[in-house]
Chains A and B, each alone.
Chain A
Amino acid sequence: MAAVPEASGIRPILLKILARLRRFFSRLPLHVILIVIALLWLTPTVGLLVSSFRPSTEVSTTGWWTAFQTPFKFTLDNYSSVISQNGMGRSFLNSLIISIPGTVIPILVASFAGFAFAWMKFPGRNILFIFLVALIVVPIQATLIPVLRLFADTHLVGTFPGIWLAHTAYGLPFAIFLLTSFFGTLPKELLESAYLDGASNMRVFFRLILPLSVPAIASLAIFQFLWVWNDLLVALVYLQVPSKAPMTLTINNLVSSFGTQWQLLTAAAFISMILPLIVFFALQRYFVEGITAGAVKG
């Protein structure tokens, strides 16, 4: 009789272990696929990182994977060289000067517009919205010459405000579309309640809409920041002053002038990757929330 409670104590534990095993094996194929994809993605990045720390003689003679054999030959010379002699330090700063307003301005404008499109009644609202959203499909290349001529007339070529404006204009259609859809999913009663509580449109926007839309705004910010940070075309066309060149332009110049100095290119490339990585990891929680927004009603 005494064995019975013992047996009944072991059985559930066994069942639990079995259930866990079953779950592990049923998910195994998925995990294997994910690991393979992650490796495929990571390998070139790791190679880039390792190469950027190897001396030029090593880089030109052996592959990066041989760097882990003794004797270790690592150096910081590549970084100091690109930052000081090739203007990567200045370019990093330029990239920031371009990207931060290039992200903040369109999101600010788009959130005001999104609020109006989602919640205010005004004549022509739907037609205007459709027109704005349709601009998403206009290729940038088609706008380069007209905008450049416009900038030339208004002396905006080669200035930071000029490129801020350009990035704002290119980013707005999608940003307005995304924020309008997100704001539209907020419950109507919430806004009505705030109006009855005595809130003006401004108050509703700043006290209600913005705090409740952090996931959408954060994911939009990541999109826009990465787009501006990685942009070469817009900078190449509108920002023709070398002292204001962002990193993409500088790296491009490095490729043409130091075509064989891989160690310098890898260091420069890795510098340009650091910030997007930091931004992504800092905001990735919102990013995931943002792209699944509206899928599940909280």
Chain B
Amino acid sequence: MAEVRFENVNKRFGQTIAVSDFSLEIPDKEFVVLVGPSGCGKTTVLRLLSGLEEPDEGKIFIGHRLVNDVPPRDRDIAMVFQSYALYPHMSVHDNMAFGLSLRKTPKPEIERRVKEAARILGIEDLLKRKPRQLSGGQRQRVALGRAIVREPAAFLLDEPLSNLDAKLRVQTRAELSKLHQRLGTTFIYVTHDQVEAMTMATVIAVMNKGVLQQVGKPQDLYEKPGNVFVAGFIGSPAMNFFDVIVKSASDGIYLDAGSFQVPVPEERAGILHEYLDKKIIFGIRPEDIYSPRYITPGIVASPIRATVDVTELMGNEFYLHMVSGDKQFLARVDARTAARPGQEIELVLNMAKMHVFDSETQITLLS
């Protein structure tokens, strides 16, 4: 059990900057998910923490110990690899016991921990098998078991679910959350899948191009994204963005997207007074767009007109790919909404949930 701290860590591979000025404090017992598109440096962060890579600059602490010069085996961490990296010539039991026997753990203690981990993961029947005799899901459990028996200060998981099929992934997600609660240890989990981040994390850290974008609770990142990247990355389907000009009228401020205009609610207008007649980025999530007939009570509704391009019925809801002027956007509306491709319909934006960003810095204008 330990907190983990990165202080201004930099890592380059040749000319490529993998991680840039990365600072992050991870409290003890949190389930932190590092999320970002591929190549954003999230796996490098994990490898820096494990000691498989060395930082060019900056400090890394596990607990209160500076670990920059500590070899991987002395960092008291366990890592689950994307490929599971099970030792192919050893049985499941030996795979799990390997780390303990290297550390000269007494035999009875090894047996106790292996049995306990196997029980937690439901792989007691597989202990005598070789990795090649296991299914993907079973291998994944063995990889987890190998980490659990070590009783490390922190678990590092590098996209452990990406080789599982969709159904198993959902199931394993829940099991990982349960495992985290049960073990009460710091989990640091890397994924490119924001759904995994949202569902399992207690804290999400979003990365892009080697730079940490925002850190926070899943709900906070969803509701108050700090910049355009986080707003577009967290949430599925992704947020719609429009280049708009802030304009003033007798009844208050409105946003002009060219093909449509929407008024800004008074309580959100504050900072926009400074951006009068300037270009900003307006963002609205697909789920904050409604069909006029099926509006949730209590929203700040602003109607717009747009043409239906493509429809996707998901059963419980309706995805409408819309075109307004030269802009395309996605609306996620009630499944009963009547809409055919080519038809012009009215939709309602919930402006209480609007997002606005500076078009230069891409940073949010909401506090």
Contacts and interface: CB of A to CB of B under 8 A. Distances in A.
A196 B102 contact: no
The secondary-structure label for the interface of chain A is helix
Contacts of B50: 192, 196
A80 interface: no
Nearest to A195: B72
B98 A197 contact: yes
Contact of A198 (B79, B87, B102, B132): B102
B203 to A, nearest CB: 23
Interface in A189-218: 189-190, 192-200, 203, 207-208, 211-212
A187 B85 CA distance: 8
B81 interface: yes
30 contacts: A187-B83, A187-B85, A189-B82, A190-B85, A190-B87, A192-B52, A192-B79, A193-B79, A193-B81, A193-B87, A193-B146, A194-B87, A194-B98, A195-B71, A196-B50, A196-B72, A196-B73, A196-B78, A196-B99, A197-B73, A197-B146, A197-B150, A198-B73, A198-B103, A199-B73, A199-B98, A199-B102, A200-B73, A298-B88, A298-B132
Given A199-B102, A212-B89, A192 B81 contact: yes
Interface string B56-95: 0000000000000001110001110111010111000000
A203 B102 contact: yes
Given A194-B87, A212-B89, 9 more contacts: A187-B83, A193-B79, A193-B146, A195-B73, A196-B52, A199-B73, A199-B98, A212-B88, A298-B132
A176 B174 CA distance: 48
B87 A189 contact: no
A296 to B, nearest CB: 14
Contacts of A212: 88-89
Contacts of A298: 88, 132
A48 B78 CA distance: 63
B81 A197 contact: no
Contacts of A192: 50, 52, 72, 79, 81, 85
Contacts of A198: 73, 99, 102-103
A111 to B, nearest CB: 16
B179 to A, nearest CB: 19
Chain A: interface residue count, which band?
10 to 19
A187 to B, nearest CB: 6
A197 B85 CA distance: 12
Contacts of A193: 79, 81, 85, 87, 146
Contacts of B87: 190, 193-194, 208
Interface residues of B, number: 23
Interface of B: 50-52, 71-73, 77-79, 81-83, 85, 87-89, 98-99, 102-103, 132, 146, 150
A88 B78 CA distance: 60
A212 B85 CA distance: 13
Contacts of B71: 195
A197 B102 contact: yes
Contacts of B73: 195-200
B66 to A, nearest CB: 19
Among A190, A195, A196, A298, which residue has the most Cβ atoms of chain B within 10 A? A196
Given A189-B81, A192-B52, A192-B81, A197 B99 contact: yes
A88 to B, nearest CB: 42
A203 B102 CA distance: 9
Interface in A227-278: none
A136 to B, nearest CB: 30
A195 B83 contact: no
Nearest to B94: A207
Contacts of A196: 50-52, 72-73, 77-79, 99
Contacts of A199: 73, 98, 102
Contacts of A197: 73, 98-99, 102, 146, 150
A200 B74 CA distance: 11
B156 to A, nearest CB: 9
Contact of B83 (A189, A200, A208, A211): A189
When A and B form their complex, which 7 residue pairs have the shortest distance between CB atoms, in order from nearest? Answer: A197-B99, A189-B85, A193-B85, A198-B73, A198-B102, A189-B81, A211-B89
B298 to A, nearest CB: 51
A190 B98 CA distance: 13
Among B71, B72, B78, B103, which residue has the most Cβ atoms of chain A within 10 A? B72
Contacts of B88: 190, 212, 298
A189 B146 CA distance: 14
Nearest to B80: A193
Contacts of A190: 85, 87-88
Among A190, A197, A203, A208, which residue has the most Cβ atoms of chain B within 10 A? A197
Contacts of A203: 102
Nearest to A210: B89
Contacts of B98: 194, 197, 199, 207
A208 B51 CA distance: 20
Nearest to B77: A196
